[in-house]
Amino acid sequence: MSANTPQSSGAMSPAQAEASSSTPTDRLVLEYLRSRGHANAVKALSDVLGTDPSTSAKSSETTVSSEELLKGIAVYAQKASRPGENSLKDSSNAAQELNSLSPSNIQNLLASLGSIGAEEILSTDPTDKQEGFRELESWVEGSLDMYRPEFRPILFPIFCHFYLELVQRGFKDAALKFFSSFSNTLAPAHNAVLHHLSTLLLPAHVQNDELAQRFRNEKYVIKMSRSGFGLLVGWLTEGVGGEAVGSGEGFSGETGKRGRSAVMRVVNNHLRFDVTAASTTTLSSSEWEESTGLLSSLIPGSSLSSSSIPRPQTFNSSKGELKLGPAPISEELRAETDRVLREHAMLDRDPGAQYDTYSRLTAPQGLVSPAVADLPPLPPSFKTVDVQREVERVRDHRKRIRLEPSSLNSVDLNSAAGTAARARGLPSICAYTLHDVGEGSPCSTFSPDISLMAAGFAESHIRLWSLKGEKLKALKNDLSPNSIRDSTSLSKLQEKDGTTSRKLIGHSGPVYSVAFDPLSGSAAPPKYLLSASADATVRLWSLNTYTNVVAYRGHQNPVWDAQWSPMGVYFATGSRDRTARLWSTDRVSCLRIYAGHLSDVDCVRFHPNSLYLATGSSDWTARLWDVQRGTCIRVFIGHQGTLSSLAMSPDGKYLASAGEDLAINLWDLGSGRRIKKMTGHTASIYSLAFSAESSLLVSGGADWTVRCWDVKSSGGQNKAKENGSSEVSPFRGEENENFETTDLVATFPTKRTPILNVHFTPRNLCLAAGVYLGSDPK
């Protein structure tokens, strides 16, 4: 306990040197405590020392300099001369008495003494916390401008711990008072957690609540610069440091001191400082987001007691390189595809088609492609549909509308050149609006060849529409496989009449996700549809017979998302039971379980080469899993809310994630670092899609808009208004413009239609689906 603060920062701060010298003091303290009869304190301290055997082993060898010894003894001698005072006072006074010691010694000593003493005090007097937090808050707010953003994050964990302790000890009224007087300043940034805490009112709740237990058992990591940390330690020990001289009145009094020691107890027991050598000004706000919080349980492999600071970057780099290149394609399939392409070129007399060869699909530079052996096992031989798909891929590549949103950056969009740039940079979006939807439609999707649209409904059914206006004819029920010889005999077996819409009934709960199988690509209509529902099943539907083929059971709770692997055969699901699972269509039990998220797995997406699976969760993180090994290989921390949607870029380099904090984060898969944060949406974001060249990201959400983001631009806050220069985007709504980042290149509002799904075709036409809400029900 006592050693944590300086040791944790040991890697890069001078505290490292001091840490080794701290142990003799510990020994002194132990002796002292034993002589004074503080049995509890002795036990606690020795426990702490015991957990760190390496240090204690070292400590036995280090000699104590005479000067230090003298200083140490002086304190105790001074104390011993006042035997009349009770032990509680002693420990709280220790802060002042120990000022003469070197800082690191003070810290350790003080912590060990303070924690025990303060605990007892607080069991009798809950007002300490109130006082202590008030002091801390005024100190933080009174600090220099350059330090304030650095100190602010410390308020939140201390607030939470104070509140939880008050509740734990049964001071319900005091807890409520504490909450009501201090939560307002923290509310904007931490609304969800604060609200959750405010519902905990009895000790039993704290014992049983997961978040409360995480707060109590894990260390809350705070990033701080070295100088800022020094000031904080100074304030905790002396009541000065920083600029809060004005609040000195409280410190001279007894309550102030006790309040401060309460703060210190939390700092020592529950906080861990990630001290950086960087100066405060160079750290952006996004870095605070990434490195603050209860990180240790979010990052796999970092146990609660380990002394190293849990950093997502450390974890991500420890997992090695990823093979992010496109999946290999068998030689036979490649040769066959090229042959078919050549044939087509001869027949079509299309001048552009003669250049169609498979080699035109070049892999992005700098990415390692996986070998065939790395891929999940797939059928060894290829079928006609595979050739058709690959042929169509090559053609799509040639016929694609090239989107270069970067061309929008330099031109004035109101001029004639701007119109041309807009046409080059922005897609055409076709919106499919659902009308007369009863209780709502949680999901919608387009087939890869955009011949079909499917939507799942809250009333447990799924509806299919033909977007081409063709009749959806099922095969007859009584067909015998022997009678099928060729495609004409098969078409005879189809029902005579059909409708352009089909209803699939089978689930017994709201359908949260639907997905068409990608096997036939953009060449032919898909053969299967997957659906996930609140009834904890995933169902596979045949689009030949329009019936349910398999129900996959395994999840214990509602399944939030189901996605096909890019090669078909496999699919992944994410569920409320905190796991993501991998399935293959021919087995009813799952193949892999990806466990590690601390809350629901809300969305899953495969990497384009199907080696990796990305999951987004309600624990505010996204993770990348090795599909075959089932291990977590990247963790993406930075969202300040539940994740609602994910998208992988087709070039395999990036992951985009959207969260309930209304931000879209763009992550580099290779390094696991956040590239940028894009803000501008005013309500939940439901869907994300990359354009075929990965240059443009489109998002749709509950604010009835479709927005286009420039993936390649650097982003950042929009300063155009302040500079007085012209606006970047012409589509400005009435919403607050300050939080729109500059990479938001276009916003297209709809009429009261939340966008459920955005989809890019391989030729870069953008499709959007949404449910028209009608008039306001209120």
Q: Return the residues of window 401-440 that contact another protein according to CB under 8 A.
A: 419, 422-423, 425-440
Our CB check for another protein shows the closer of 76 and 739 to be 739
Print burial letters for 99-115: b (CB count within 10 Å at least 16), e (below 16): eebebbbbbbbbbbbbb
d(CA 219, CA 532): 37
Q: Which two tokens stand for residue 418?
A: 């701007």
Closest separation in Å from C-beta 754 to another protein: 6
* Residue 28 is a binding residue for another protein (CB under 8 A): no
Residue 720 found at the interface with another protein (CB under 8 A): no
Among 1, 236, 454, 455, binds another protein (CB under 8 A): 455
In the complex, minimum distance from the CB of residue 187 to another protein, in angstroms, rounded to a whole number:
5
Residue 217, helix vs strand vs coil: helix
- Tokens encoding 503: 């209803």
Q: Interface with another protein includes 526 (CB under 8 A)? A: no
Which DSSP helix (H) or strand (E) runs through 187? Answer: helix 172-198
What part of residues 104-163 is at the interface with another protein (CB under 8 A)?
A: none
Stretch that binds another protein, among 26-34, 219-227, 487-495, 745-753 (CB under 8 A): 745-753
532-551 positions binding another protein, by CB under 8 A: 534
**Diameter of the chain by CA atoms?**
106
Which residue, 64 or 176, has its beta carbon nearer to another protein? Answer: 176
* Integer angstrom CA distances of residue 555 from 42, 269, 578, 646: 49, 38, 10, 21
Residues with Cβ within 8 Å of residue 699, at least 6 apart in sequence: 645, 658, 664, 681, 685, 687, 688, 689, 706, 707, 709, 758
Q: If you count them, how many residues does the chain have?
A: 778
Choosing from 12, 39, 146, 187, the residue that interacts with another protein (CB under 8 A) is 187
Stretch that binds another protein, among 49-57, 191-199, 471-479, 582-590 (CB under 8 A): 191-199
Where do the H-state alpha helices sit in 52-102?
53-61, 66-80, 87-97
Of the candidates 251, 465, 516, 612, which one interacts with another protein according to CB under 8 A? Answer: 465
User: How far is 562 from 580, CA to CA, in rounded Å?
Assistant: 9
DSSP bridge pairs for 479: none
Chosen residue from 151, 229, 457, 620 binding another protein by CB under 8 A:
457
Of 212 and 633, which CB lies nearer to another protein in the complex structure?
212
- Which stretch, 213-221, 236-244, 318-326, 505-513, contacts another protein (CB under 8 A)? 505-513
Sheet containing 443-446: which strands, arranged edge to edge? 443-446, 452-456, 461-466, 501-505
In the bound state with another protein, the residue whose beta carbon lies nearer, of 117 and 700, is 700
Q: How far is the CB of 749 from another protein (least distance, A)?
A: 5
Q: How far is CA 615 from CA 148, 319, 581, 603, 647, in A?
A: 35, 17, 10, 6, 10
Strands, E assignment, 165-280: 220-225, 271-276
Strand order in the sheet with 705-710: 685-690, 696-701, 705-710, 744-749
Report H helices in 199-253: 203-208, 210-217, 226-238, 248-252
Which is closer to another protein, CB of 672 or CB of 754?
754
**Residue list 556-585, contact with another protein (CB under 8 A):** 557-558, 560, 576
Residue 171 found at the interface with another protein (CB under 8 A): no
Question: Which of residues 327 and 746 has its CB atom nearest to another protein in the complex?
Answer: 746
Task: List binders of another protein among 644-683 (CB under 8 A).
Answer: 644, 660, 683
Residues 211-240 that bind another protein (CB under 8 A): none
Compute the least distance from the CB of residue 353 to another protein, in Å.
25
Give residues 755-774 in contact with another protein (rule: CB under 8 A).
Answer: 756, 766, 768, 771
Span 269-288, contacts to another protein by CB under 8 A: none
Binding to another protein by residue 749, rule CB under 8 A? yes
The nearer residue to another protein, 204 or 363, going by C-beta atoms, is 204
Nearer to another protein by C-beta: 52 or 727? 727
Query: Is residue 733 close enough to count as binding another protein by CB under 8 A?
Result: yes
Phi-psi region of 267 (alpha: psi -120 to 50; beta: other; left: phi over 0): alpha
Closer to another protein by Cβ: residue 114 or 558: 558
Smaller CB separation from another protein, 429 or 550: 429
H or E segment to which residue 439 belongs = none
Q: Which residue of 349, 359, 734, 736 would you call a contact of another protein, by CB under 8 A?
A: 734
Give the residue with the Cβ less far from another protein, 76 or 772. 772
Residue 56 or 599 with smaller CB distance to another protein: 599
Q: How far is the CB of 733 from another protein (least distance, A)?
A: 6
Of 153, 228, 370, 754, which lies in the binding site for another protein, with binding defined by CB under 8 A?
754
Binding-site member from 33, 118, 160, 443 for another protein (CB under 8 A):
443
CB of 158 to another protein, least distance (A): 18
Q: According to DSSP H, which parts of 685-770 are helical?
A: 720-723
* Closer Cβ to another protein, 198 or 357, answer by number: 198
Instruction: Identify the residue among 79, 463, 502, 592 touching another protein (CB under 8 A).
Output: 463
d(CA 509, CA 191): 31
| d(C-alpha 130, C-alpha 642), whole Å | 31
Please report, to the nearest 10 degrees, the dihedral formed by the alpha carbons of residues 305, 309, 310, 314 taken in order.
-130
Shortest distance, position 107 Cβ to another protein, whole Å: 34
**Cβ–Cβ under 8 Å, residues 117 and 261:** yes
Q: Minimum Å distance from CB 176 to another protein?
A: 5
Query: Segment near another protein (CB under 8 A), from 42-50, 73-81, 96-104, 195-203?
Result: 195-203
Footprint of another protein on 680-709 (CB under 8 A): 683-684, 686, 702, 706, 708
Stretch in the footprint of another protein (CB under 8 A) among 30-38, 215-223, 225-233, 508-516: 508-516
For CA atoms 414, 416, 420, 423, give the dihedral sign.
positive
Q: How far apart are CA 742 and CA 729, in angstroms?
A: 8
Q: Around Cβ 725, how many Cβ atoms within 10 Å? A: 9
- Going from the C-alpha of 425 to that of each of 544, 654, 656, 729, the distances in angstroms are 39, 20, 20, 13
* 748 is a site residue for another protein (CB under 8 A): yes
Smallest gap from Cβ 221 to another protein, in A, equals 25
3-state secondary structure of 244: helix
Task: Give the phi and the psi of residue 414 in degrees, each rounded to 5.
Answer: -85, -15
Binders of another protein among residues 587 to 646 (CB under 8 A) are 600, 602, 618, 642, 644
How far is the C-alpha of 349 from the C-alpha of 353, rounded, in Å? 8
